[in-house]
Structure 1
Amino acid sequence: MTPFHLLGFRFAIAFLSLSILRIIGIININLKGKNLKKLFLLALFQPGIYFICETTGMLYTTSSEAGMMIALIPVAVTILAAIILNERPTFLQSVFVALSVGGVFFIIFNRGASPIEGNYLGLLLLGGAVIAAGFYNIISRQLSLEFSPVEITYVMMGFGAFLFNLIAIYEKNFNLTSYFSLLSNKDVMISVIYLGVLSSVVAFFMMNYTLSKITAAESAVFANLTTVVSIVAGVVLRNEPFFKFQVVGAVLIIIGVWGTNYFGRPVVEKGEEIYEKV
């Protein structure tokens, strides 16, 4: 499968899953009279621009370079949150965000990766993905005052299904028979269902819910735990070797995530006057 073919199926399954839950009454989606323009702007950044830039950018860079660029998302979110939302991190929070990012870089460099150098188009595209992820965190936090997390997730999945399937069908020269034939492949379906239901619906719902409760910077830094999870999964599920430098990097990431949230400003419930105006 091409990357956009997989993304198209992934978000189609995600949107279909949420639509079924909506039809049988398990979730409630009410978008009438709300700020749909800003909600579609959010969906344009994530999953739209983010996945297009990340998927295309990785074609021109190494996986290590991509990992280092994506690890900068918490930094971008912290800066944008301070400028747009007036959510200025404390000094200690800034230190722990940097510590978390440093943990990711430490693991990547010790794997034998070279410093970022090479195809600037790929790095530019990955930079676009970082910025898109930053704006997604900011806009989702803003919209949490008006939309429920499941409503935000629903529109994101629908937009992703439309956009990525459109791109993938165009790549297939509009040959729909060939396009849908892969759905008969068991391995494809297992992967697509996992990515659509767990990695898309569940994960993005959790992200949107988290952004309605804590600051954008405190939420974004959790993304670096992906590196820790991937190391554990590789060792447990794929019998990959486990190195001391991975332990050091993982500890730095975990401490960074903990410190960013522990030393955050007091959490204030939505609607109270001293809640950060967004």
Structure 2
Amino acid sequence: MSTRKFDSPRYAYIAIVVYATIVGLSFLFVKLALQAADPLDTLAHRFTVAAAAASAPLLFGWRPRIRAKDLPGLLPLACFYPALFFAFQAYGLQTTTSSEAGIVHATVPIFTMLAAAVYLKERATLSRVLFTLLSVAGVVYIFAMKGASFAAADGRGLLLILLSALSAAAYNAGARKKSRQIPLADMTYVMTVIGFLAFNAIAIVRHGSEGTLGEYFKPFGNVEFALAMAYLGILSSLVTSFLSNFALSKLEAAKVGVFNHLSTLVSIAGGVVFMGDRLHDYHWIGAALIVLGILGANRRKPLVAKRAKEQATEG
């Protein structure tokens, strides 16, 4: 089967929807993991599993085709995501609530749009900007109605969450460019390995200083933790990285960024189905705003359509 069929934008949309679904359900497994390990160890073990899964093809002869000249541009990108994104998020959540973090993180599509405009020269139409803001408003409305308040919030925690959001936006813009220059599997592998090295180095140094290095892998004795790591490491880290890179290679960064809000809806649905959470009117209102925003921001392809029209005229 020819791989050219995957050039169609619809496969990119399928990829980003699957990505948002996996990420949206990951909170269930994060909760399970945090019952047996702290946030930093959870991140380290998560990327250990991801790196092991990503390295499995090496046993069957696959080799990354990353060239030395690709590394200077790729390493900073991989540092934005996963290293800085998850690090800022993990430490920020220690002093902020999930609702407060959710509101701040809702700004990712806005920052992505700005980064894409500056770095990629992708100009968003007024309608796309308005629909993106509508989607952001849906997320903010849900969390605000759940009782989020910044009155007593820790400023340092909010700053770290904001830096996490900025890291995600910088990654979205950078990956949009690099994913068209570097094979997706190779790019995903490098990102995963950097996450593995960064988080394990931090965790091991901390355990060493505390004299608890012998307990580092103890959480894996918990079956629920091991299952959570399998989901978070393989699906929610490795697979989502590949899906995100694939979508960014086909779609404008701002279009991909707004789909982050779909994860909020999946998280709510997961809470209802698996945790017995109740749906309230504000969930439905916020969900409607999010869906309308996503559909509106992606309903047209102004840049692609314009270029195709110009090429047809020139031909």
Are 1:74 and 2:109 counterparts? yes
Match of 2:221 among 167, 184, 201: 184
Q: Deviations over 1:77-114 (max 9, x none)?
A: 00111111100111110011001100001101111222
Distance between the aligned counterparts of 1:167 and 1:33, measured in 2? 26
**More helix per residue:** 2
Are 1:36 and 2:71 counterparts? yes
Percent identity reads 36
**Any conservation in 2 of the 1:92–1:263 contact (CA below 8 Å)?**
no
2:55 aligns with 19
Match of 2:273 among 232, 236, 244: 236
Distance between the aligned counterparts of 1:104 and 1:3, measured in 2? 24
Distance between the aligned counterparts of 2:253 and 2:63, measured in 1? 25
Distance between the aligned counterparts of 2:149 and 2:81, measured in 1? 29
Distance between the aligned counterparts of 1:75 and 1:151, measured in 2? 28
1:145 aligns with 180
Alignment of structure 1 residues 46-85 onto 2, 5 Å:
46-85=81-120
Which AA in structure 1 matches 2:248? L
TM-score of the pair, normalised by structure 1: 0.92
1:124 aligns with 159
Q: Deviations over 1:135-189 (max 9, x none)?
A: 1011111111221222111111100111101111122126442112222221111
Distance between the aligned counterparts of 2:296 and 2:152, measured in 1? 31
Using the TM superposition, name which of 113-122 and 225-234 deviates more: 113-122
Using the TM superposition, name which of 48-57 and 171-180 deviates more: 171-180
SS of 1:212's equivalent in the other structure is: helix
Distance between the aligned counterparts of 1:92 and 1:116, measured in 2? 33
1:202 aligns with 239
Distance between the aligned counterparts of 1:142 and 1:261, measured in 2? 19
Match of 2:169 among 121, 124, 134: 134
Gaps of 5+ in 1: none
TM-score of the pair, normalised by structure 2: 0.81
2:28 aligns with none
1:263 aligns with 300
Distance between the aligned counterparts of 1:231 and 1:118, measured in 2? 23
Distance between the aligned counterparts of 2:230 and 2:131, measured in 1? 36
**Any conservation in 2 of the 1:77–1:135 contact (CA below 8 Å)?**
yes
Which AA in structure 1 matches 2:40? F
Match of 2:130 among 95, 114, 124: 95
Using the TM superposition, name which of 172-181 and 71-80 deviates more: 172-181
**Any conservation in 2 of the 1:14–1:197 contact (CA below 8 Å)?**
yes
Distance between the aligned counterparts of 1:242 and 1:163, measured in 2? 39
Distance between the aligned counterparts of 1:118 and 1:188, measured in 2? 30
Using the TM superposition, name which of 167-176 and 218-227 deviates more: 167-176
Distance between the aligned counterparts of 2:74 and 2:235, measured in 1? 22
SS of 1:235's equivalent in the other structure is: helix
Distance between the aligned counterparts of 2:299 and 2:46, measured in 1? 35
**Structural RMSD (CA):** 1.8
Q: How many residues align?
A: 269
Q: How far apart are 1:4 and its partner, in Å?
A: 1.2
Distance between the aligned counterparts of 2:55 and 2:243, measured in 1? 18
SS of 2:64's equivalent in the other structure is: coil
Distance between the aligned counterparts of 2:150 and 2:68, measured in 1? 50
Gaps of 5+ in 2: 1-36
Using the TM superposition, name which of 30-39 and 241-250 deviates more: 30-39
